[in-house]
Every structure is written in structure tokens, then in C-alpha cells.
Structure 1
Amino acid sequence: MSTPSGPAPGAALEIVHLLRATTVELGLHSARFAHRNGMHPTDVRALIALMDARRAGEEMSAGRLGGVLGLNSAGTTALVDRLEGAGLVRRVRGERDRRRVVIEVEDRAVELGWAFFGPLIERSVELLRGCDDHQLAAIRDFLTGVREAAAGGR
């Protein structure tokens, strides 16, 4: 039974457990991509961070990438060397500050990711097409809140 202040505790917990199960499945999907492409799961997380930065029009230094991933300097260097050696990223001079070196994702990495994750993304977008603006706002707010709560532990 719902109350004016929100869903019944059982319904809320059901959604939290569904989110956890979804997170597990997404992690397994990502692990399959990593395995299929001879990558470490951290490589995949790095590529996602770099693609997110690219989509936002932001430059990503190695230091910032390491911070996002929770890696030290040596680990970040090894990661970037590995991804660069695989032809998935490149080191370039920053647009805003030419003295700064930034990491950019190569189009090949985007294509590789889209080939694997594209069907899941398309299915997710298809599911969201059935929602109205109010429902989309509620979903966005919920996921943003959960993400911020999880990140609070950093």
C-alpha cells in the first residue's frame, strides 16, 4: 500500500533489490566485453570514463582518469600504456592548455564498444520511449540520487 509520502517499504525495497540485480547483470555484461577483447575490467571502466568525457566535451588528463578510477600514478600509466598499445586511446596535447597531455579515446574503441553494447543501449532507449516526461524525470532523479549516495563512500 502506497502512502502520500511514497511507496510502501516493501515496494521500495523491491526496487532497490531490482537495481542491485540490474547492476550485477550490467557488471557481468561488461566483464564479457572485457574478456572477449582481452581487457581487464579496469580497462573497460577507463574507456567508459573517457567516452563520457568526450561526450561532455571535457578533456581528461591521466591524473584525472586515475582519480576517477581510484588508481595511483603508476597504475594509471600502465593502464594508459596498455590501452594506447591496443590502439584504443591516444595521448595528445590539450586544446585549452597545450602544455598539458590529455587522453583521448580512439574512434576504434567507440566502434568496438558500440558493436557490443549497442543492442543493450538500443533496448534501454526503447524501454524509455514508453515513459512520459514525469516518469523520465523520476527515473533520472532516482538514478542520480543512488549514484550520488554510492559515490559518497569515495
Structure 2
Amino acid sequence: MSKDELVREVATSLRLLQQSFDAFDEAAATALKLNRTDLRALDLLLAGSTPLSAGQLSAALKLSPAATTTVIDRLERARLAGRIQDPHNRRRILVAATDTAREVEQDVYAPVGVAGAKALAGYTTEQLAIILDFLRVARHVQEEQATRLTSARP
């Protein structure tokens, strides 16, 4: 296979990979009775080691403050997030994942990590380094292209 053909195969495989991520996210959202934006917010809350302010969540989700408040309200009703007082600033409220959210993380997301680790176990250290480099480059390309599209809007 030529280099051009391989590049096309990689591009096609990336598109299919993105579709599989999308399908998983849709299945997770449906299983949790959340919409995709709420699922993204939950992921942000679970990913961090510390609670986020509503402003941080708003910026990460690229939502207005009012829309972010609605997301937080829905996550609270689902018992997946809670508002807590910032221990360093009494006037500031933070949003944190709940114990229920941590259970969801174990039920929904931990098996993906286990399966992924198992799938990667067959690669050498050098191959994993190449995969990691590729993923970083691919992410950078996607972020640049997202910026290009958002910058082009009137």
C-alpha cells in the first residue's frame, strides 16, 4: 500500500473512530437519561480532582452562564452533581461530582478503560510512544480546525 493510500486509510479509520466515540457517548447519555451537553459537563466534573466553578464549567462547555446553570440544575436533579461553597471564598459556589456520579463513572466508564488497556497491552513501548504521538498530533489538528471554524463565524 502506498503512503497516500495509508494516509487515506488512517483518515477513514479516524472518522470511524470518532463515530464510535459518538455512538458510545449517545449510549451513555441514554443509559443515564441525560442529554449530550449534560454528559459533557459530567465528564468535566469527573475528570478533575477538584470541583469547578460555574464559570469554569461554562467556559469549558462553551455555554452561556444561564445555559450552564440549567445544566447544573439537571445534574443536581439526577444526583450526579452538587453545589458546594468554596472553602476559600464564601461567596463563590463550586460544582462537584457526587458519590452517585463516581458510581456511574465506575459502571459506565471504567470498563472502557479496562478494555482499552487490555487492547493496548499487545503493543511494545516504542509502538505505544508512536500511538501517543499520533494522538497528540491528531488532537492538535482537530483543535486548530475547530478554532478555524469558530474564528470564521461573523
Normalising by structure 1, what TM-score? 0.84
1:16 pairs with 2:16: no
Alpha-carbon distance between aligned partners in 2 of 1:143 and 1:107, rounded to the nearest angstrom: 31
> How far off is 1:103 after superposition?
1.2
Deviates more, 1:88-97 or 1:34-43: 88-97
Deviates more, 1:109-118 or 1:69-78: 109-118
Alpha-carbon distance between aligned partners in 2 of 1:37 and 1:85, rounded to the nearest angstrom: 12
The aligned amino acid for 1:39 is L
Alpha-carbon distance between aligned partners in 1 of 2:90 and 2:12, rounded to the nearest angstrom: 47
Give the total of aligned pairs: 146
Identity rate, percent? 31
Q: Does the CA-based 8 Å contact 2:46-2:105 persist in structure 1?
A: no
4+ runs deviating over 4 angstroms: 95-99
Query: Which of 85, 98, 101 does residue 109 from structure 1 map onto?
Result: 101
Unaligned runs of 5+ in 1: 3-7
**Structure with the largest fraction of strand:** 2
Local SS of the residue matching 1:100: strand
> How far off is 1:75 after superposition?
0.4
1:46-72, Cα deviation, whole Å (9 max, x unpaired): 111111112xxx442111111111111
Alpha-carbon distance between aligned partners in 1 of 2:63 and 2:42, rounded to the nearest angstrom: 14
Task: Name 2:137's counterpart in structure 1.
Answer: 145
Deviates more, 1:89-98 or 1:61-70: 89-98
> How far off is 1:95 after superposition?
4.7
Unaligned runs of 5+ in 2: 148-154
Local SS of the residue matching 2:79: coil
Output the aligned Cα RMSD: 1.9
